């Protein structure tokens, strides 16, 4: 029997009664329906293999290869995210939407925990549909029909700061333009589609005004009442809609707490469509 426990009033649900080893259309459609409703789903005690992880991801669409980071040797679609025992930082420690700098940014992420510190490294998610709905009307008017530039930041941002992450040899930095307000292709909902990590400028707007408006939007997006928080356990899986959410891995690793322990996660990304 499927049970759904809400994590907050904004988004997020912990699901029991679904086995992620089952990648049948029927099971995956059930997951997708829940995903569209709750934006991010969490499943505990899912001891899936790498092959089962890939089979599950294949339901959602073509699998993505990360532009800067080398995938696992036998499974290039899987990026293994490792925080070394003495590292105080981890991947994704600022609010962001994954690869918003791509022409076709990621649709869905499926993240599986392999090794978890005793404390620290929770992940937070934020609902960008609610962020749009509650945005100041004057700002809504100013950004209507506007696009913004998203920059990939280059390979250093993904590899050099993190000792255990290995680059794939690509060093180029590039950017793409996307609507600031995008429409969800499956639900038709409006989404506030900028993020403080990758969005650099609003097009057709004075630089100072662009910076001022983006600063206000980023602050608005970080409101705690838009968020939920997940405390990882080993063999847990998070599936999130990357189109309508932002997320942040908390770097609360301190001596005597999470510091001194590894954090290992396997990530698969599914290619999305061009935002409109």
pLDDT higher than 90, residue 177: yes
* pLDDT surpassing 90 at residue 155: no
Task: Return the percentage of the chain with pLDDT > 90, whole number.
Answer: 95
d(CA 46, CA 14): 13
Tell me what pLDDT residue 69 has. 95
Per-residue pLDDT tens over the stretch 245-273: 999 999 999 999 999 999 999 999 999 99
The residues with which 199 forms a beta bridge, in sequence order, are 150
CA distances from 137 to 19, 88, 154, 220, 224 (A): 43, 40, 35, 13, 20
Segment 90-117 shows an average pLDDT of: 97
Q: What is the mean pLDDT of residues 123-151?
A: 98
pLDDT classification of 36: cutoffs 50, 70, 90: very high
Is 226:21 a contact under the CB 8 Å cutoff? no
Distance CA 247, CA 226 (A): 11
CATH class of 3-271: alpha beta
Residue 156 confidence (pLDDT) above 90? no
The domain limits of the chain are 3-271
Sheet order of strands, 175-179 included? 175-179, 147-151, 199-202
Q: Which residue has the tokens 């029997």?
A: 1
């Amino acid at each position: 029997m499927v049970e759904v426990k809400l994590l907050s009033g904004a988004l997020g649900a912990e699901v029991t009664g679904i086995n992620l080893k089952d990648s049948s259309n029927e099971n995956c459609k059930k997951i997708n329906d829940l995903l569209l409703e709750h934006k991010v789903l969490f499943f505990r005690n899912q001891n899936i293999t790498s092959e089962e992880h890939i089979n599950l991801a294949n339901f959602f669409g073509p699998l993505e290869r990360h532009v800067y980071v080398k995938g696992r040797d036998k499974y290039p679609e899987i990026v293994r995210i490792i925080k070394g025992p003495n590292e105080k930082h981890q991947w994704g420690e600022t609010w962001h939407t994954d690869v918003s700098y791509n022409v076709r940014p990621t649709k869905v992420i499926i993240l599986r925990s392999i090794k978890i510190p005793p404390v620290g490294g929770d992940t937070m998610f934020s609902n960008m549909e609610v962020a749009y709905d509650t945005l100041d009307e004057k700002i809504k008017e100013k950004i209507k029909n506007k696009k913004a530039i998203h920059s990939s930041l280059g390979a250093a941002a993904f590899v050099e700061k993190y000792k255990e992450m290995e680059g794939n040899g690509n060093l180029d930095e590039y950017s793409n333009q996307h609507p600031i307000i995008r429409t969800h292709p499956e639900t038709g909902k409006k989404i506030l589609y900028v993020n403080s990590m990758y969005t650099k400028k609003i097009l057709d707007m004075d630089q100072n005004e662009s910076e001022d408006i983006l600063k206000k939007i980023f602050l608005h997006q970080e409101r705690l009442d838009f968020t939920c928080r997940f405390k990882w356990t080993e063999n847990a899986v998070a599936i999130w809609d990357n189109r309508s959410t932002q997320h942040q891995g908390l770097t609360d690793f301190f001596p005597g707490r999470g510091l001194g322990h590894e954090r290992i996660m396997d990530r698969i990304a599914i290619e999305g469509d061009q935002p409109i």
